[in-house]
A and B are shown apart, each in its own frame.
Chain A
């Protein structure tokens, strides 16, 4: 099974909009989201998501965070190699979601640790950045003007 397929399995839970994964430092690793949420937004949110786990008491290992917004919620499940974030409606079956996220988190732990390297996010919505403008070649190579024994030379 591909990692994106694992994320897609979360949509078995009624109402799940999509999900994405950030690694332990907040870097975007995987995504299965509608294009309305672009990778730039997720990259901006990623490090904050990674730091959220620091808000837990030292002696209490974190399990999940639920962020409630006016129209939807973001369920964030911690796993060893990062965080799994799922966009859900407020009416989602919370118990089923927790179980499904737990399965996916375990699978990601096994896969990502085995891979040993972060996977590139799926190109869903982000356009390729335009190439940086290269400087046009100078039409006239710059010449140096100098004087020698009263004469003006260029070269």
Chain B
């Protein structure tokens, strides 16, 4: 997994988290909060209008004028993945501007899910991959309207994992071979005595994970195939396929409708209510189903490559 290195830093500006006193702002000179009177300015509705897109870039201590609510933070060692995961866990809906070394990108989150990304001519997962590879810069709430059409269908977790895997693989391929000093496999034995032992089926020598180096990250499973979505369907609450594309959408939508119905019944049985999402993972495919606000189901089928050693 990618690790944050010391030089990396992301400035975080969250506009919708918690109360904020507009008469206070962080001093750019001493780094501590100081209170001063704001000059009287014409205010249309009592709140200061902030266009965060106009804030000069690469000035981490010159914080923008206060937004309506929320905390501002300057996090020296945070990386973009961490910040995005915070927003994901908070189920945030909004658009975030990411600025790094003169580049700008926008990440659109709906209920914590990354649904759209844009930077330069790129959109969707390509843009997300580009933005999330930036090592330092600023990450802030933005008044840009939320995208109405989702161009990213992978979960945030899956996307970050995939990007981290790609990044690690790239780093590993660039590393000189001399760094890979192997250590004995015995050092990788589990240390938890309470966990049940794996089944007694004999492991082939070739199936053992490769020896680790103390200076390299642990070996990663085979990467998940990128852009391998083979079917996407939208199913109405009454079970009719509204939209479908890809391989055999009729059969896929029937399986989705059946699984969703069973999931709904399971939710009722265990008094958990209607599910929000369903993920069916097989050895070679992953089906992701999301319940829409109007009761319809959006589902996608992706080809994945499972690790052979599990």
A74, B266: Cβ atoms under 8 Å? yes
Question: What is the bound-complex CA distance between A4 and B182, given in angstroms?
Answer: 39
Chain A residues with CB under 8 Å of B280's CB are 52, 55-56, 62, 65
CB-based contact B272/A72 at 8 Å: yes
CB contacts (< 8 Å) of A9 on chain B: these are 194-196
Do residues B279 and A66 form an inter-chain contact, with CB atoms below 8 A?
A: yes
- Specify which chain B residues have a CB less than 8 angstroms from the CB of A1 in the assembled complex: 196
Q: What separation, in Å, do the CA atoms of A66 and B259 have in the docked complex? A: 11
* Bound-state Cα–Cα, A22 to B292, Å: 30
Question: A55 contacts B272, CB within 8 Å?
Answer: no
B273 contacts the other chain (CB 8 A)? yes
Chain A interface size band reads 35 or more
B266 neighbours in A (Cβ, 8 Å)? 45, 48-49, 52, 67, 74
From B267, B273, B274, name the one whose CB has the most chain A CB atoms within 10 angstroms: B267
- Quote the shortest CB–CB distance from A59 to chain B (angstroms): 8
Chain A residue contacts of B278, Cβ below 8 A: 65-68
> Which residues 158-214 of B sit at the A interface, judged by CB distance below 8 A?
192, 194-200
The docked-state distance in angstroms from the alpha carbon of A64 to that of B310 is 13
Q: Does B34 contact A (CB under 8 A)?
A: no
Nearest CB of chain B from residue A149's CB, rounded to whole Å: 68
Closest partner residue, chain B, to A20 (CB atom) = B270
Q: Which residues of B contact A41 (CB under 8 A)?
A: 269-271
A6 to B282, CA, bound (A): 24
CB <8 Å contact, A67 and B275: yes
In the complex, which residue of chain A has the Cβ closest to the Cβ of B254?
A55
Contact partner of B258 among A55, A70, A102, A107, CB < 8 A?
A: A55
Closest chain B CB from A12 CB (angstroms): 7
Chain B positions within 8 Å of A64 at CB level: 281
- In the assembled complex, the Cα of A63 lies from the Cα of B285 at a distance in Å of 10
Q: Is B157 an interface residue (CB 8 A)?
A: yes
A69 touches B267 (CB 8 A): yes
Given the contacts A9-B196, A52-B262, A91-B89, A70 and B276 also touching, CB distance less than 8 Å: yes
Is A44 within 8 A of B282, CB to CB? no
Cα of A48 to Cα of B261 in the assembled complex, Å: 9
Contact of B306 with A by CB under 8 A: yes
Across the interface, A74 reaches (CB within 8 A) one of B200, B256, B262, B270, namely B270
Q: Which residues of A sit under 8 angstroms from B285, Cβ to Cβ?
A: 56-57, 60
Residue positions of B touching A, CB distance < 8 A: 89, 157, 192, 194-200, 255-256, 258-259, 262-263, 265-267, 269-285, 287, 306, 310
Would you list 7 pairs from A and B whose C-beta atoms are within 8 A, ordered by A residue? A12-B195, A56-B255, A56-B287, A64-B281, A65-B279, A67-B267, A110-B199
